Amino acid sequence: MSAAEEATAAAGTEEDSSTRSQVVRRFVQGDLASLRVVLGLVVIWLIFQSQNDRFLTAENLTNLMLQITAVGLISIGIVYVLLLGEIDLSVGAVSGLAAAVMTVLNVNHGWNPYLAIVAGILVGTAIGLLQGSLFSRFAVPSFVVTLAGLLAWQGALLQVLGSTGSININDPKITGLANTFYSDAVGWVIAAAIVGTYAGVILAGHRSRVAHGLTGEGLTPLAVRIVLVALVTIVAVAVLNSDRGVPLALLILLAFVVGFEYVAKRTRFGRHVYAVGGNAEAARRAGISVNKIRIVVFGIAGTMAAIGGIMAASRLLAVNQSSGGSELLLLAIAGPVIAGTSLFGGRGAVWTALLGALVIGSISNGMDLLALSSAVKFMVTGGVLLLAAIVDAIARKERQAAGRV
Mean pLDDT of all residues in the chain? Answer: 88
pLDDT value at residue 378: 81
pTM for this prediction: 0.88
Work out the angle at residue 326's Cα, subtended by the Cα atoms of residues 42 and 104, and round it to the nearest 5 degrees.
120
How far is 101 from 217, CA to CA, in rounded Å?
A: 48
Listed residue (246, 221, 224) closest to 235, CA to CA: 246
pLDDT value at residue 210: 81
CB atoms within 10 A of CB 114: 12
Res 385 pLDDT > 80: no
Confidence of residue 403 (pLDDT cuts 50, 70, 90): low
pLDDT value at residue 375: 84
pLDDT value at residue 30: 44
- CATH T-level fold of 35-179+259-401: ABC transporter involved in vitamin B12 uptake, BtuC (1.10.3470)
Handedness of CA 227, 229, 235, 238 (dihedral sign): negative
The per-residue pLDDT for range 64-78, each reduced to its tens digit, is 999 999 999 999 999
- Please report, for the chain, the start and end positions of each structural domain, with discontinuous segments joined by +: 35-179+259-401, 184-244
Confidence of residue 287 (pLDDT cuts 50, 70, 90): very high
Q: Are 166 and 219 in contact (CB under 8 A)?
A: no
Res 354 pLDDT > 70: yes
> With pLDDT > 70 as the criterion, what percentage of the chain qualifies?
90
Lowest mean pLDDT across 156-170, 178-192, 215-229: 215-229
The mean pLDDT of 114-139, rounded to a whole number, is: 96
